[in-house]
């Protein structure tokens, strides 16, 4: 897996069978380091079912892979997406 979860010491990985294989869109984005700015990014792909929970209150992130839509030039084929910004499109094959 090419993505990191920020190496947080309180990160707890898991697997959610209820979303594995489902198509989803991610309204993503993040702050731009070294600036006061931020940016939005949109992805579409398949949820692997892998997730990581950060701290308390729990902040859950899902791995979206096999990306069919991603920002131009995005180097990877997967992205970690915060659960509140993830929109499941349809039932997948699981």
Partner 1 sequence: MASDPLRTKLCDMLGIEFPVIAFTHCKDVAVSVINSGGFAVLGEAMHTPDDIASDIKWIRDRIDGKPFGIDLVLPASVPPADSLEQLEAKIPETHRGFAQEIKEKYNVPDPKGAIDLHTWGGLNQQMARAQLEVLLDERVPVIASGLGNPGFFLETAHERGIKVFGLVGKARQAKRQLDAGVDAVIAQGYDAAGHTGAVGTFSIVPEIAAMAGDTPIIAAGGVTTGRHLAAALCLGASGVWSGTLWLASRESDIDMIIKERLLASTVEDTSYGKSISGMTMRVLTCPWTKEWAKPEAPHALPPPYQMLLSANYIQGANDNRREDLMTEAAGQGVGFVTSMKPARQILFDLVEEALAAFEERVGELA
Task: Tell me the per-residue interface mask from 3 to 22 with partner 1, x by CB under 8 A, - otherwise.
Answer: xxxxxx--------------
45 beta partners: 24
Nearer to partner 1, 69 or 94 (CB): 69
Q: Vertex 31, ends 28 and 43: CA angle to 5°?
A: 15
Would you tell me how many other CB atoms lie within 10 Å of the CB of residue 46? Answer: 21
30 counts as binding partner 1 under rule CB under 8 A: yes
- Which residue's entry shows tokens 């731009």? 32
Pick out residues in 33-72 that bind partner 1 (CB under 8 A). Answer: 33-41, 43, 54-55, 57-61, 71-72
**By the criterion CB under 8 A, which residues form the site for partner 1?**
2-8, 26-41, 43, 54-55, 57-61, 71-76, 79-85, 87
């Amino acid at each position: 897996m090419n993505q990191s979860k920020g190496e947080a010491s309180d990160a707890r990985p898991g697997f959610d069978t209820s979303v594995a294989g489902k198509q989803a869109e991610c309204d993503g984005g993040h702050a731009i380091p070294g600036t006061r700015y931020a940016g939005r990014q949109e992805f579409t792909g398949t949820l692997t079912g892998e997730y990581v929970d950060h701290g308390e209150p729990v902040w859950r992130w899902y791995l979206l892979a096999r990306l069919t839509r991603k920002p131009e030039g995005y180097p990877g084929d997967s992205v970690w997406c915060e659960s509140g910004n993830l929109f499941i499109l349809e039932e997948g094959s699981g």
